[in-house]
Chain A
Amino acid sequence: MANRYKVLSKSLWKTADAAQGFLKDAHGVTSIKIEEQLADDVPRPTLHAKASDNTIICVEVQEDACYPASVERLVSRCKTAQLPVRLYVAHVEGSESPEFPQQLRQARANGVGVLSVKQSGEITILSEPLALTLADVRRLDIKRYPGKYKDRLSRAQQTYLQGDPVKGCANIHEVLEEVTRDLAKRLHKKGRIAAWQAKTPNFDKDAWYGIAYAIFNEPTFNTIFPKVQPAIWAGLIAQTKPRNEGNHPATPKARAERDRKLRTRFEEAGDNLADVIAMIKKAKI
């Protein structure tokens, strides 16, 4: 696999060749481009290839660093260009600079994967990448939430950041749904909701959307939740609508658009959950 690299220092060619092997073996890509353009105004990664999920898998080869200024620049430009790039930085094992541990934290925080490549070509994955179109997500401020939800929300965030944003969003929605159903049950116990409905809803099995609407349509809603803007509950109802962003987009552009929606959805769900919890806390039930 003796490829010739124009830009990469010769001392890193073996590392880059090993990274090519990794892309083929671990990601099943066949056509790997070397030091070619991703998009205008975006630095050229050492390697890139289109993956089956329509992300672009890139590898940037470094000697002793995993998040130097050049990688930071590449990440920033990919985000600006809205490219669904999953970026690995492959570095030479045993060459790590003193700044490496700090850089590894930065790489992880920015959704960049890190590969450690031995002289023999053996590769260890230090972290998995997240599509950069997802990575800019605003992190959940876990301390805003009650203790009983903290662990689940932390895990939802981890799931998102570790490369499964659809599941990460779904995990937050599960908490939101649980909060909605609990509230409905409490209101029902106090003689609300059911009184004006033809049939008492099944608070455990009926669609989340229906339960959320039942609360919103409760005639005493404004009394129960004084000083609360209806927008908060309207926001929750918006979260309950069935979504199809989890489907596989057909092109990298569609993938970028889907990722943008998922990122927004994750942030909105987190904000909405915090608002709803605060609203229920102040409610006169």
Chain B
Amino acid sequence: MHTDASNAELMEVPVDRIDRNPENPRLYFRPRELETLQSSIADLGIQVPINVFRRKGRYILIDGERRWRCALKLNLRTVPALVQDEPTRLTNVLLMFNIHALREQWDLLTIAVKLPEVLRLLEKELKHYPTEAEIVRKTGLTRSVIRRCKLLIDLPEMYRELLLEELAKPKSQQKLTEDFFIEMERALKTVERTMPAAFDDKNETRDVLIAKYKNETIKDLVDLRYLPKIAKAEYVSADPKAALVALKKVFSMNSFSIESAFEQTVAGAYSEKDLQSRVQQVLIRLEDIDPSELEPDVVAALKELRARISRLLRDI
């Protein structure tokens, strides 16, 4: 990213001659954030100049949209601004990402919506489709954020719109979140791969899961993580047929929860697998122990473990 901010000039710019940057992916500004900033500006003024560039006699924001909004609200005449020359489109977009995404908690979908365009512009500049490392370097986003964004980008448009509508609501009225869609997409991807017979139409399945989340049949986002576990029943020696029936039932409109499906099919098997794994870890630890160095409380714990194991094995 090349920007020439060295010629930037610090000046007082009339608030009314500033426009928001159309490339700013951020669509939603939380009222509480603005309220807090407004109080600070009312008391202390704008301490850090905003960044703008000139375009046709007006100024376009690069950095400082919240400060500008507060200045408008407070009816300030001017704001201190670093004024620079107009950057290229790619530079402008990348500036938005680098300045904002690193510093502020953006809604993920707002980044996701803009990301395909960034990739397209980068591809044009680099003459090849950008690698994940290049995207990270150019945008300042982490790999984890990029991967989560990609899950949202891959959503059919109707679900992206649904999520946008949801984000446009006041916090108290939002039911569906980006995290819900990310968890759902991850779960459905694994189910599709490991037990493809579990559903026929992915959108219908999404609709059912959304409805069940809204009516609280799915109480917690984490419940969605049980879906891949049920689909992988065979890996823990559980009955895959029962798992398939349970998944089909979960993916139908009823009051059957993911949690119940998990409990009824693979919970025991996963619990046993977990126990087995822990026992293996203990065995490895025991191999390394020098009996002469054992503390009395460790000796007591091991004796208790031996007694319990003996009792357990006697009943088999």
Contact = CB atoms under 8 A, between A and B. Distances in A.
Interface in A1-35: 6-7, 9-13, 15, 35
Contact of A95 (B38, B75, B173): B173
A52 interface: no
Binding site secondary structure of chain B: helix
B121 interface: no
A131 to B, nearest CB: 20
Nearest to A13: B168
Nearest to B19: A6
A44 B75 contact: yes
Given A6-B69, A9-B29, A15 B170 contact: yes
Interface string B151-195: 000000000000000011111110000000000000000000000
Nearest to B164: A10
A211 B32 CA distance: 60
A94 B172 contact: yes
A43 B74 contact: yes
A119 interface: yes
17 contacts: A7-B34, A9-B30, A10-B27, A11-B28, A11-B30, A11-B31, A11-B167, A11-B169, A38-B75, A42-B75, A43-B74, A44-B73, A44-B74, A63-B172, A69-B42, A70-B38, A119-B173
B220 interface: no
A53 interface: no
A251 interface: no
B108 interface: no
A19 to B, nearest CB: 14
Interface string B24-50: 000111111011001100100000000
Contacts of A64: 31-32, 170, 172
Interface of B: 20, 27-32, 34-35, 38-39, 42, 69-70, 72-75, 167-173
B73 A70 contact: yes
Contacts of B70: 7
Interface residues of A, number: 28
B170 A12 contact: yes
B28 A9 contact: yes
Given A9-B31, A10-B27, A70 B168 contact: no
Interface in A94-141: 94-95, 119
A35 B72 contact: yes
A68 B39 CA distance: 10
B28 A10 contact: yes
B22 to A, nearest CB: 13
Nearest to A97: B32
A41 interface: yes
Contacts of A42: 75
A40 interface: yes
B172 A73 contact: no
Contacts of A68: 35
Contacts of A223: none
A64 B31 CA distance: 9
B39 A95 contact: no
A157 interface: no
A37 interface: yes
A72 B305 CA distance: 66
Given A6-B69, A12-B31, A63-B31, A41 B169 contact: no
A11 B166 CA distance: 9
Contact of B69 (A7, A15, A40, A92): A7
Contact of A63 (B27, B42, B73, B170): B170
A100 B70 CA distance: 23
- What are the nearest 3 A-B pairs in CB distance? A95-B172, A63-B31, A92-B170
